[in-house]
Amino acid sequence: MIDAKHERRFKTRSFAGTMNIAERVAEILLPTPRLVILRGDLGAGKTTLVKGIAVALGAAAEEDVTSPTFTLVHEYQGTKVKIYHLDLYRLETERELATLGLEEMIADPTALILVEWGEKFPSVLALATGEVAIENLGETERLLVIGVR
Ligand SMILES: Nc1ncnc2c1ncn2[C@@H]1O[C@H](COP(=O)(O)OP(=O)(O)O)[C@@H](O)[C@H]1O
Ligand SMILES: [Mg+2]
């Protein structure tokens, strides 16, 4: 967990539950945290949460948000916020990371940068101002712990 000043917890019991809670998660994450690490095992619901946040911020339709596992970065322009969705699962070195242009994303004052597997890289952890840890409690039950620096 990042050194969080504030922590909030939500439990959800389904995909739809996570989609619904995403608007409240987005409210907690905005406007202060700009770079948010999404933690959790494969299938925890990290990409699902991004889907919900993108819909809540008017940035994308549910079906348009897909996992950037291979493309590494997806961008969704919302009404006020631009979402950058990153998945660093397949990335191995800080050098590869440097090619993604994270600095430019952070320089965008309207950016909300959501990073799956960001905790793999100390440099990303250092930049993080928020974190959502998703714990798999059962087949469809998830615990979301939101920390904001
Ligand atoms: N409560 C829940 N919240 C989010 N996803 C859920 C939930 N219950 C079941 N699921 C399912 O778990 C999977 C989560 O996948 P995904 O969001 O891609 O995870 P990740 O990005 O963490 O690997 C989806 O198939 C989704 O339908
Ligand atoms: Mg994912």
Ligand 1, closest atom to CA 12? 1
pLDDT digits (tens, 9 = 90+) for 81-113: 999 999 999 999 999 999 999 999 999 999 999
- Write down all domains in the chain, each with its CATH number in brackets: 6-85+98-141 (3.40.50.300)
| pLDDT band with cut points at 50, 70 and 90 for residue 6 | confident
pLDDT digits (tens, 9 = 90+) for 54-75: 999 999 999 999 999 999 999 9
The binding-site residues of ligand 1, defined as CB within 6 angstroms of any ligand atom, are 12-15, 17-18, 40, 42-48, 67, 116, 140, 142
pLDDT for 4 equals 72
Ligand 1, closest atom to CA 40? 22
Question: Which uninterrupted H or E stretch holds 15?
Answer: helix 15-29
pLDDT for 149 equals 84
Q: Structure pTM? A: 0.96
How far apart are the CA of 45 and the centre of ligand 1, in A? Answer: 4
State the chain's mean pLDDT as an integer: 94
pLDDT digits (tens, 9 = 90+) for 22-45: 999 999 998 776 899 999 999 999
How far apart are the CA of 62 and the centre of ligand 2, in A? Answer: 14
Q: Annotate 81-147 with DSSP letters as a single string.
A: -EEEEEE-TT---HHHHHTT-HHHHHHSTTEEEEEETGGG-HHHHHH-SEEEEEEE-SSS-EEEEEE
pLDDT for 42 equals 96
How far apart are the CA of 141 and the centre of ligand 1, in A? Answer: 10
| pLDDT band with cut points at 50, 70 and 90 for residue 5 | confident
